[in-house]
Chains A and B, each alone.
Chain A
């Protein structure tokens, strides 16, 4: 995108078109990855998880995040064990049966349940990435309009490429938001 803006400064219509085209492809790649991620997050794992009548989510060992380091080390976890919400292994058979008796199965993540953890995380995740993704999609649509304008020579006739700059500011603001979303939803 910035390279398209830069090419606009040089009044280089061809380069503007190329960089705008690449920006649009990148935008579609982003939205596509997001769709794939949402699909998997909503579908969930084949086995799902258990939610107790207290609303605590217990996961099956094969679905739990790798319990590296810590007190557990790499000791084998029996496949009938459960993983508690605070990542502890529950391998006491009576306790597992007790949890099962007060639980119902859930699968995937949505606004009510989340088999991967706290339902609030799913709520915020869908809310924030949904709004961000929708803004990216609008950005792609705006970029497409600009792209076709560039191809039909609207800006070379006008003599300046200010529209590319404005679109670029929008695009990079959405980008700026993503930097924060990525940190707080994927890393932390």
Chain B
């Protein structure tokens, strides 16, 4: 049993009808990468909360928070959702549509400000 187990250590059988054997290339460094990512995320979050209590200007704070958030998002997507190890074309398919989110935010902010603009002009 254990011999059999060792033999198939570096791959797995897919659940499809062919039950193909897929080599895994398991890298023992994976775990240290996961822990490294975990600590990076933790340190960034603690830094964010610490920065929130300093008396920096609001604009600078916003800039730092948004930058750090994007950095955190990169680490989660790249390592926890292992997009870094996927084909580049797949990564682009997933990441490029996010440009539309910037458009969505710009639109929502304009919309949300509409009443303020109205008040400014007509009151």
Contacts and interface: CB of A to CB of B under 8 A. Distances in A.
Nearest to B35: A3
Interface in B62-93: 62, 65-66, 68-69, 72-73, 76-77, 79-81
A6 B31 contact: yes
Interface residues of B, number: 31
A9 interface: yes
B12 A188 contact: no
User: Which size class do A's interface residues fall under?
Assistant: 20 to 34
A187 B12 contact: no
28 contacts: A1-B80, A2-B34, A2-B80, A6-B30, A6-B31, A6-B34, A9-B30, A10-B9, A11-B9, A11-B12, A159-B8, A160-B12, A160-B15, A162-B12, A168-B80, A168-B81, A169-B81, A172-B76, A172-B80, A172-B81, A176-B76, A176-B81, A179-B69, A179-B72, A179-B76, A183-B66, A187-B52, A187-B65
Nearest to B22: A160
A187 B48 contact: yes
A163 to B, nearest CB: 9
B18 interface: no
Contacts of B13: 159-160
Nearest to B69: A183
Interface in A1-24: 1-3, 6, 9-11
Given A2-B34, A159-B13, A180-B69, A9 B80 contact: no
Interface in B19-46: 24, 26, 30-31, 34, 37, 45
Contact of B48 (A10, A168, A176, A183): A183
Contact of A183 (B65, B76, B77): B65
B25 to A, nearest CB: 10
Contact of B26 (A3, A10, A69, A159): A10
Interface of A: 1-3, 6, 9-11, 68-69, 158-162, 168-169, 172-173, 175-176, 179-180, 182-183, 187-188
Contacts of A188: 61-62, 65
B5 A11 contact: yes
A11 B61 CA distance: 45
